[in-house]
A and B are shown apart, each in its own frame.
Chain A
């Protein structure tokens, strides 16, 4: 098809529904004699819809700091479910901010669901001091070059390993190749790989690209042919007995590590942390890698309808807060997540008399993130050939 949007897409259909809805609401407001904008402008509550990991354990901290209340609704982690909810339910009519893993802006931005970010907005005071690798990453910039979001949290994912089983330094500071997880006799039958197509296939693509085993332009967004090459490799490894299991949940990642069922696993960093609580410090190292990381981030995107609600200042105050020290320090302490301006987090902790251990940990997170973020690649939840990649991944599962 020449133009993928030349026929009706679900977005166009849902937008028509939305227009109907908006007209209906406007009529209702007119008869009642109340303009909805006026009501919103007076409110100091900002409504957000997004992944629950972006939540502070206690939002009253934010209210104390910047005087804004947060009404947060948790969304599903699945990009399909999230986009369906945002597009078809017209959530922008009620929500001010959407928070989700990077990628959705490439679809929802150009289609008018998100409002472009005004980086000169007066409340966005921390913008200029926020590093480029956060504020201009693929999480918040669209493939059209526009600024669709602001950074919230992020991390560089790799894999957890038992150092003595794979013969590397037990302090966890060595750069270990992804080949150790995917392509090594040392770990054959003792490796676990994530079962989700969009989490696992890009990392394998990165390994093949870096080792020169396949030509891949962008591991985060492979073409159908590139995805096929990656899956051919993975099928061969699966048949060779490389993988003990394909895991599919946080709980299972922890169990596989604590039961010593596997020696290496591409998992989330909190899973390695959780396993170490049981096995002892550094029993599981979360890898620094040779090739790079599955760098992910949550972006905050403003709902297009919010432009007319009159509370943009408040919304931008919240976006700015996500890049500030308090939010950074609590997210790092309570969830182990990094984010932009980690130094402000350290400064906040010092100013608020956090314990020396907690401050040291924040500093360590900063060093770790700085080291990891130097390497590729930034993941996306919406690769251009998602349908082809998902199909190829099924071939791997079925092989």
Chain B
């Protein structure tokens, strides 16, 4: 009887998957987003949300210059993503297709995943005594007469924030690229080489297109995490690197939920604009819809 019911519902052909996914996704993600956008048109007065639509909060967001935190957060996140991609891609290539033995590969992968098991705050806070005025590096520089005065830019500026974020999000970039590269069939590379293809040709025509899903995954994971980063800017930025998360926490401490909503909406708008720009710029080289075709069985 169950079988006949299932047959009648025709579950086997998978046509139900998309509507199901859309329904769940709309409920879990889209609906809260709509609530968020609606809230940004209310305002807070004396710790109370006043449910009367106006542009008051949006006006505040721009007149106080607060929107700058979103631009700063985006700038730092993009810089970190680009640096991680620049280091992560060759690293993943070496790990997946280099001459490293199985043991070295396994050990490197294990090392890359270790950070996921240690609390981020404890990993970041150890940099403070290393980078501060009387810290390890400054003591070394002075002892070796490489610097006569303490290098104060090493802490409580944007430099250490970038530095720590590049380290924090490196595994986010490397692991997806590695996974994509690892499944590239070696015979394809060998065939390309047999036909006289230079290493550059192999990279451009075989490795790059086939690892594109991993690269995109790495970019999304790194950019997303970096955009919401608060540990590194808070602990190493010394309050001078005001990013999105700090601004949201501060607004929430005055119960300014509409401001939190407006800030978040503004970031979503920026991200959509950025993705559109990216798609336009890459239109000549890749068609986003076809990126994952290599994954098809």
Contacts and interface: CB of A to CB of B under 8 A. Distances in A.
Interface string B41-68: 0011111111110000000100011101
B64 A392 contact: yes
A394 B239 contact: no
A9 B43 CA distance: 10
B128 to A, nearest CB: 7
Contacts of B43: 387
Interface stretch (A75-83, A92-100, A133-141, A205-213): A75-83
Contacts of A386: 44, 46-47, 254
A78 B68 CA distance: 25
Contact count band on A? 35 or more
Contact of A259 (B49, B64, B65, B129): B129
Contacts of B48: 4-5, 9-11, 107
Interface residues of B, number: 41
B156 interface: yes
Contact of B156 (A78, A80, A244, A260): A244
B252 A394 contact: no
B250 A382 contact: no
Interface of B: 43-52, 60, 64-66, 68-69, 72, 128-129, 132-135, 152, 155-156, 234, 238-240, 242, 246-247, 250-256, 259
B254 A245 contact: no
Given A83-B255, A245-B156, A390 B47 contact: no
A107 B64 contact: no
Contacts of B129: 259
Contacts of A78: 252-253
Interface of A: 1, 4-5, 7-11, 78-81, 83-84, 107, 189, 193, 195-198, 243-248, 255, 259-261, 382, 384, 386-387, 389-395, 397-398
A107 B46 CA distance: 8
A272 B9 CA distance: 71
A397 B239 contact: yes
A200 B251 CA distance: 16
Nearest to B44: A387
A130 to B, nearest CB: 29
A7 B51 contact: yes
Contacts of A394: 64-66, 69, 242, 247, 250
A94 B242 CA distance: 39
Contacts of A395: 64-66
